[in-house]
Structure 1
Amino acid sequence: MTPTSCVFCGLLAGHGEASWVARRDGALALLPLAEGRLSPARTVVLPNAHAAGFHDSSAESLQAVVLLAQEVARAMEKCIGARGVNILSASGPDSDQSVPHLHLHVIPRRKGDGLDTWPSTVTSHPLEDAWHSAVRAAMTS
């Protein structure tokens, strides 16, 4: 996917309508389409710069997105009484990512709201015994 064919890049460039929540130097926040909302106030935070996901995002983009997600969460607590949030993201072709542009979903939560965002299943993909050592080694090189 290229930035010219990315739906989020199109919105950032002013093509199409978006309900913007906040615009900052490195990131923006918007409301998703109503039919796709897990919650009426669910907000999507994305970097201005195109990157498909966590794997290829710059440190600056990641920082901008996380800081704006925190700002959105604090505003949700102050304005709508959401004392908790779930931050959800899918990143990469095997993650069920819907739009290949890094983005975080900030979902306001209230006690007893009935929403279950924690996975209810576990992966069936087996790993070899040495996976932990291999990952740890990759982190140090």
Structure 2
Amino acid sequence: MDCVFCQLILEGTARWVSREAEACAFTPLNPLAPGHTLVVPTSHFTDMFETPPDVLTASMTLVQRVAAAMRAALDASGVNILSASGPGSEQSVPHLHFHVVPRWVDDGISTWPTGQSRHCLVGDPGTKLAAALNRGHKPHHGS
């Protein structure tokens, strides 16, 4: 098995925060902040584009619950939810995952991009997105 997240799920060796039928949550080995948690689907889906809507819904519901628990248990004043999908996104593990990072005022880290993309498009990107959505483009399931 090549996927590190699938292996953790199969072996049960992660530091679990929550294990549910469609999604699970665990703490990473090198957290960005105390309580930093990863939420992943329990089945293997490479990225946002491949994941079925019901699995994505279950994953995001767990993200929301983890975020609320961070506020209640860790006294976090906010959270950052970070995810990357696809080759151009700096995705580090080819299994859909969401970093839920608790934040506190003046905690000394920044998870927000500091620069802008150098990629240029012809035409208005918002108009192109609206047209694609209106044509009913749906995510692909499978590779």
TM-score, normalization: structure 1?
A: 0.90
Q: Which residue of 1 aligns with 2:105?
A: 111
Matching residue within 17, 24, 33 for 2:20: 24
| SS at structure 1 position matched to 2:88 | coil
What are the ranges of 5 or more consecutive residues in structure 1 without an aligned counterpart?
Answer: none
2-structure distance, mates of 1:131, 1:81: 39
2-structure distance, mates of 1:111, 1:130: 36
Identical pairs, percent: 44
1-structure distance, mates of 2:57, 2:88: 24
2-structure distance, mates of 1:71, 1:100: 24
| SS at structure 1 position matched to 2:110 | coil
Amino acid at match of 2:76: A
1:97 has 2:66 as partner: no
| SS at structure 2 position matched to 1:44 | strand
Aligned-pair CA distance for 1:49: 1.6
TM-score, normalization: structure 2?
A: 0.89
Q: How many residues align?
A: 135
Amino acid at match of 2:50: D
What are the ranges of 5 or more consecutive residues in structure 2 without an aligned counterpart?
Answer: 136-143
Q: Which residue of 1 aligns with 2:120?
A: 126
Aligned-pair CA distance for 1:102: 0.5
| SS at structure 2 position matched to 1:85 | strand
Q: Which residue of 1 aligns with 2:138?
A: none
Aligned-pair CA distance for 1:130: 4.5
